[in-house]
Structure 1
Amino acid sequence: MAKKPTRTPIALAVALSLGTTTVYAAAGTDASIEDRLAALEARVAAAEARAQKAEATVEQLTASQQTTTSKTRSLGDSSAPSAPSVGPAGDAPSMEQRVAKLEGNADKKLGLTLNGYARAGLLFDDELTGTEGGPYITPAGSVGGAVGRLGNEDDNYAEIVLEHRAEYENGSTSLYKIMLADGVESSNDWTGGDSSLNVRQIFAEFGSLPDFGGPLENASIWAGKRFDRDNFDIHWLDSDVVFLAGTGAGLYDIQVADDWTSNVSIYGRDYGYIGDEGFGDEVESYIFTLNNRIGNWQWMLNGLSAKNNDDRELDPGMLPPDPRADLAEHGAHTMVAYHGESFFGLRDGTYKAAVLYGQGLGAEVKSLGSDGNLTEDAESVRLAVYGTTYLTPSWRFAPSLLAEHSKDRYVSGDSYKWLTLNARVANELSENFEMQYEVSWQTMDLDPQGYNSFNSVDGDYTKFTIAPTFKPQVGGFWVRPEIRLFATYADWDSDLNNYASGNNDVKSLGTNGYTGGEWSFGTQMEMWF
């Protein structure tokens, strides 16, 4: 039987334009040729737009599939993927079928994708000289006490994330991710000598595995070096609420009950060497995690272990006048958090609240397992709360609170108490311009007992920033990129200048004449995609 000639929508449109109207007359249609041509042209335009949207993804996916197929067949695997299927008569898939398939793959973000974050800018005082900055500039910053970051950052930082996602014929999925990051404070165009370029993540994750059933039916398995998927932060303070990272493996989304999923994992970290670095035994730390999500609640349990950590020698400059307490070799940590779907039940928006407690190695309650200098008696409790809402159609409001009390942290008898209140406000004035404002207040009472040559201080810090901001389009808390100009005024109690006096390695208040009542100015871009 002769094969029917096929016509693409474009060919049909050309035929119509040449006067092939008898086809439709024979069919007895009532619609005019102009109506049919307009409808056909609309379909062609829509199909072309849909195809263009998926084109880049398809090319990446096709190249990936061909590479995978070639490698698999070269190994003699009879299960190698077959060529794309065709119609019953051997015809190529129709345009509609191809576009539908391409759109589906695009929605799943299959193939290679690029994501990133970056900030860069200038920070100077009223005499056009460089000045101090950063959300951890205060004495409390040495133990995680951040203040507002708007108009207070003097570094250039960038992250590049490459992801490759694939879906297999049996329904399984895979994710491969690598993340590169670098941060410097130099304003020069070439900063190779100051670079801290680092591979922060490199891991693989598999999901929708047919071999998994029961509670594991929707689970995914991963291994490598990564940030835990369920970390979350207070962006306005550049502070994670909880940050779990390292090299290890785990299972996500074990279905314990209808509204209850659990993650289990192990992460490894290094604390240094016993004896001379590179010659002694290395002290390794391990974090065992059970992270539960029950509805909007999150309950995290962690156990930490670092065998022989107490035998590790500290830098003599970090030791207090009296003999130090024993370094911790074990620890425990827990967090209870609530992820709200309104602004504290008062209006539309979001909020998150968390209480964290840690003992021993778990007393670094934010960056789990990152501090090997904690004593076996160390204890910390932290409270974190923040929310986001629109007060009016053009005014955004995001308040936050972060507070912590730790004791016996590095020295028996030491104590660190601090509390930060912060609010970021924005007024959207046009499609491309908004005014941002931020006020931050922190109070602290720190008694380090001579650890790291720090002195006891007690006082408050206050900062206010105004930042005219340009965007391609305004419209939300997380819309980027932004280009900002800013002016910041900061003031603090003079006692805080004494915290790091004599310690030239610590950037803090009181250094380089930075002693309170200071204006700073600058410009900054921030983006993520």
Structure 2
Amino acid sequence: MKQKTLVRALGLTLALAPLAGMAAVENITYFGYAKWGNIYTDNDEHNGGKGERNDVIRAGQGYGNYRLGNELNWWEAGLKADVWQQGDAYFDTTLYLGSGESWGDVSLIQMWSAGHGLFEGQADATVWAGERFYRRHEVHMIDIKYWDTSSTGIGIENWDLGFAKGHIAWMAPNSSADGRSLHNIDARLSGIELSDSADLTVGLNYVFTQNSSYDESDITTSGAMLSALYRQAWNYGSNTFAFQYGTDALAGGLMSAEGGSNRKYNTGVEHDGYSWRIFNSGDLNVNEDFQVMYSIAYQDKNLDNNEGEKWFSVGARPQYSWTEYMATALEVGYESVEAQNGAGTNDMYKVTVAQMFQAGKGVWARPSLRLFATYSEKTDEWNRGGEVYGHARSTGGQNVDEITFGFNVETWW
């Protein structure tokens, strides 16, 4: 294992060496994100009785997790560098690495290049290709990316249309079920100004399979999703309201969460139907020392085979700063998932208190070093037998209450 890690590190060093050599003249930018720590539990039955959690607390078959004191380890770091320039036109390349629980499990998670200034009269427009995190939208507090098409692709973005910026991409994500190649056409309009402090983003995704002939007529081969985001800033904070409507392969799709049960693309299985969902989240700045993060979300996934569900999540995280660098936060969250076929309802609530040492005041100050303790209760009345697309079956009800505690750091740059 050590030898493999050494080989990977050596390969990375060699790959980045040419870019590092151009740092003086080629505009290199470094960026990254990390969350790392340990979570311990009083539940002797969890994780083989080891006393340490290896997953997050959420309702059974749920999606998000109220992440304060309740998130797994992850780091990612990368750089972007201009690699060619002629006049106003230039190309840059982005390399980005990431790793989960194991320090030796490092992989290249982004590698893409973009051309800037290639079109006359379109100074902001870019052409790009490669593997990238593409224009993701998320609710940070519950660790859900609800509009996430990140994968390999090619596209043009930031085309100035006067009233908005236009973006078009052809993405090639991994298939979700049967191994066939997928195509995702992603079209968006962003920055539609509604006022000095509000704007709108709208988009349409259409996904379909390559070689989509199946022997069974009820197998899902395509789907679409319409998304709209309204963002409002005001004197006491900001708020984002998102509405999404998906059909068939994108019913409940394009959503990713840490350890969640959802798949972004639902092809190669029986998944015809529709979904609609809303996310409303933001931050409230009561005064310089007291702020609140909040989130409310709902999704109704109604499938023709009666295997959908209704998901609801609501929570808040008030935070008080005692000094410029010390703060206390209290996070309260609730989540429920009701099976469409009547098998039952799973739910969870948690309360976490955290003492934090951070780089300034406010809910977005990072780095943040935390000591935390959590009390949670959850009831699971149904599951899918360990399968993503399994039949929803009643389990008779299982109740678990748990106390967890630990520490972590969250930082970005």
- Do they fold alike, i.e. is TM over 0.5? yes
| Structure 1 equivalent of residue 70 of structure 2 | 152
Instruction: Give 1:254's match in structure 2, choosing from 132, 149, 159.
Output: 159
- Tell me the TM-score normalised to structure 2 length: 0.81
One-letter identity of the residue aligned with 2:232: G
5+ long unaligned stretches in structure 1? 1-59, 66-101, 275-281, 313-323, 450-454
- 2:100 match: secondary structure: strand
Which residue is equivalent to 1:469?
356
User: Alpha-carbon deviation of 1:459?
Assistant: 4.2
Greater mean alpha carbon deviation, residues 371-380 or residues 246-255 = 371-380
Check if 1:526 corresponds to 2:413.
no
Whole-Å separation in 2 of the counterparts to 1:487 and 1:148: 13
Offset at residue 426 of structure 1 (A): 1.0
Deviation per CA, 1:20-50, whole angstroms, max 9, x where unpaired?
A: xxxxxxxxxxxxxxxxxxxxxxxxxxxxxxx
RMSD: 3.1
SS at match of 2:270: coil
**Greater strand fraction, Structure 1 or Structure 2:** 2
- Name 1:111's counterpart in structure 2: 27
- Structure 2 CA distance for aligned equivalents of residues 222 and 400 of structure 1: 33
- Structure 2 residue aligned with 1:377: 272
Secondary structure class of the residue paired with 2:22: helix
Whether 2:108 is the aligned partner of 1:213: answer no
- 1:358 is displaced (CA, Å) by 0.8
1:16 equivalent in structure 2: none
Q: How do 1:52-67 and structure 2 match up within 5 A?
A: 63-64=21-22
1:180 corresponds to which of 81, 93, 97: 97
Give 1:61 deviation, angstroms.
Answer: 9.2
- 1 or 2, which has the higher helix percentage? 1
How far apart are the structure 2 equivalents of 1:497 and 1:487? 26
What is the CA distance between 1:373 and its match in structure 2? Answer: 4.8
CA distances 1:374-433 after superposition (whole Å, capped 9, x unpaired): 53523111101101121121011111111111021xx71222001100111111111221
Provide Cα deviations, 1:82-114, integer angstroms capped at 9, x if missing partner. Answer: xxxxxxxxxxxxxxxxxxxx9xx8xxxx53232
Is 1:283–2:180 an aligned residue pair?
yes
Q: State the Cα deviation string for residues 349-391 of structure 1 (Å, max 9, x = none).
A: 1111110011122224333953435535231111011011211
Q: What does 1:221-236 align with in structure 2 at a 5 Å threshold?
A: 221-228=127-134, 230-236=135-141
Runs of 5+ in structure 2 lacking a partner?
1-17, 44-49, 194-198, 256-262
Determine the C-alpha separation between the residues in 1 that align with 2:177 and 2:245: 28
Pick closer, same or farther for the CA change 1:501–1:488 going to 2, 3 Å.
farther
d(CA) in 2 for partners of 1:396, 1:325: 53
SS in 1 for 2:141: helix
| Aligned mates of 1:243, 1:334 — CA distance in 2 | 13
Name the aligned partner's letter for residue 175 of structure 2.
Y
Q: Distance in 1 between matches of 2:377 and 2:326?
A: 29
Query: In the alignment, residue 219 of structure 2 is paired with which amino acid?
Result: L
Question: For residues 231 and 374 of structure 1, do their structure 2 counterparts lie closer, same or farther at Cα, with a shift above 3 Å needed?
Answer: farther
CA distance in structure 2 between the aligned counterparts of 1:220 and 1:132, rounded to whole angstroms: 41
- Taking the TM superposition and a 5 Å limit, the aligned residue runs for 1:228-377 are 228=134, 230-257=135-162, 259-271=163-175, 283-293=180-190, 294-295=192-193, 296-309=199-212, 311=214, 326-342=218-234, 347-367=235-255, 370-373=265-268, 375=270, 377=272
Residue 250 of structure 2 aligns to a residue whose secondary structure is: helix
Q: Measure the CA separation in 2 of the matches of 1:434 and 1:168.
A: 46
Distance 1:397 1:500 in 2: 36
Q: State the SS of the aligned residue for 1:236.
A: helix
Could you tell me how far apart the structure 2 residues matched to 1:61 and 1:125 are? 45
Shift in CA distance, 482/217, structure 1 to aligned 2, threshold 3 Å: closer
Runs of 4+ with >4 A deviation: 60-63, 500-503
The AA in structure 1 aligned to 2:285 is Y
Check the 8 A contact 1:357/1:365 in 2, yes or no: no
TM-score when scaled to structure 1?
0.64
Matches within 5 A, 1:403-418: 403-408=298-303, 412-418=305-311
Distance 2:125 2:318 in 1: 39
Aligned partners of 1:304 and 1:369 also within 8 Å: no
CA 1:487/1:252 → structure 2, altered by over 3 Å: closer, same or farther?
same
CA contact (8 A) 2:289 2:362 kept: no
Give the residue type in structure 2 aligned to 1:174: F
CA distance in 2, matches of 1:460, 1:376: 24
Q: C-alpha separation between the residues in 1 aligned to 2:242 and 2:227?
A: 7
User: What is the aligned partner in structure 1 of residue 37 from structure 2?
Assistant: 121
Partner AA of 2:351 in structure 1: F
| 1:379-458 matches, cutoff 5 A | 379-408=274-303, 412-447=305-340, 456-458=343-345
Matched, 1:200 2:109: yes
Alignment partners' CA distance in 2, 1:167 and 1:306:
36
Match of 1:14 in 2: none
Shift of 1:479: 1.8
Q: Distance in 1 between matches of 2:329 and 2:125?
A: 42
Q: Is the 8 A contact 1:308 1:329 kept in 2?
A: no
* Residue type at the aligned position of 2:171: Y
SS, match of residue 140 in structure 1: coil
Q: Distance in 1 between matches of 2:167 and 2:294?
A: 30
Larger Rg: 1
In 1, Cα distance between the equivalents of 2:67 and 2:166? 34
Deviation at 1:283, TM superposition (A): 1.1
Shift of 1:202: 0.6
Contact 2:176 2:264 in 1 (8 A): no
Distance 2:37 2:77 in 1: 18
Residue 460 to residue 205, structure 1, CA distance change in 2 (3 Å): same
Contact 1:309/1:327 (<8 A) preserved: no
Paired residues, number: 372
Q: Which residue in the other structure is 1:460 paired with?
A: 347
The aligned residue for residue 138 of structure 1 is 59
Distance 1:63 1:180 in 2: 19
- Distance (whole Å) between structure 2 residues aligned to residue 481 and residue 161 of structure 1: 18
Q: Is the Cα contact below 8 Å between 2:177 and 2:269 reproduced in 1?
A: no
CA–CA distance in 2 between the matches of 1:304 and 1:372? 9
Provide the residue aligned with 1:83 in structure 2: none
Distance in 2, Cα, partners of 1:221 & 1:442 = 41
